[in-house]
Amino acid sequence: MSEIAPAVEKLSEAEERFERGRKLVGTILAPIVFIVLLKLPMPGLKFEAHRLAAVMATVIVLWLTEALPMPVTALLGAAACVLLRVAPAKEVFAPFADPLIFLFIGGFILARAIFLYGLDRRFAFAVLSIRGIGAKPARVMFAFGAVTAFISGWVSNTATTAMMFAIGLSILNVLFEQEKRGVPRINRSYATGLMLMTSFAASIGGLATPVGTAPNVIGLGMIRDTLHVQISFLKWCVIGVPIVIVLYLWLGTYLNYFCRAGVTVIAGGEEMVRAERARLAKWSTGEISTLVAFGLTVILWVLPGMIALAYGEQSPTTKMVNAVLPEGVVAVVGALLLFVLPGAYDGRAINWSQAVQIDWGVVLLYGGGLTLGVLSFNTKLAEAVGEGLTGLLPIHGSSTLMLIAACLVAVIVSETTSNTASATMVVPVVIALAKGAGVDPLEPALGATMAASLGFMLPVSTPCNAIVYGSGYIPLGKMVKYGFLLDVVGVVVVVVMVKLLVPLVR
pLDDT at 353: 94
pLDDT at 184: 62
pTM score of the predicted model: 0.69
pLDDT at 338: 96
Report the distance separating Cα 113 and Cα 119, nearest Å: 9
Torsion of CA 90, 96, 98, 99, to 10 degrees: -140
- Comparing CA positions, the residue from 475, 477, 415 lying closest to residue 203 is 415
Cβ-based neighbours of 124, under 8 Å, separated by 6 or more: 144, 147, 148, 151, 163, 164, 167
Which CB contacts under 8 angstroms, 24+ apart, belong to 386-390?
386/429, 386/431, 386/432, 386/433, 386/434, 386/435, 386/436, 386/437, 387/432, 387/436, 389/429, 389/433, 389/436, 390/433, 390/436, 390/437
pLDDT at 76: 94
pLDDT at 392: 64
pLDDT at 350: 95
Report the distance separating Cα 74 and Cα 472, nearest Å: 33
304 contacts 233 by C-beta, under 8 angstroms: yes
Q: How far apart are the first and last CA of the chain?
A: 50
pLDDT at 108: 80
265 contacts 155 by C-beta, under 8 angstroms: no
In degrees rounded to 5, what are phi and psi of residue 431?
-60, -45
250 contacts 197 by C-beta, under 8 angstroms: no
315 contacts 321 by C-beta, under 8 angstroms: no
pLDDT at 1: 31
499 contacts 439 by C-beta, under 8 angstroms: no
Cα radius of gyration rounded to whole Å, the chain: 23
488 contacts 454 by C-beta, under 8 angstroms: no
Q: What is the mean pLDDT of each successive set of 10 residues along the chain, which is 506 residues long?
A: 38 71 91 94 89 91 82 92 95 87 82 81 71 74 89 77 72 66 70 90 90 81 83 86 94 89 68 72 90 87 75 79 83 94 94 89 79 83 67 68 86 73 79 80 90 80 74 79 91 92 77
pLDDT at 58: 93
Cβ-based neighbours of 349, under 8 Å, separated by 6 or more: 113, 286, 289, 290, 293, 337, 338, 339, 341, 342, 343
pLDDT at 83: 96
pLDDT at 135: 66
How many other CB atoms are found less than 10 A from the CB of residue 157? 27
Category of 85 on φ-ψ map: left (φ > 0), alpha (ψ -120 to 50) or beta: left
Burial class (CB in 10 A: 0-12, 13-18, 19+), 500: exposed
454 contacts 498 by C-beta, under 8 angstroms: no
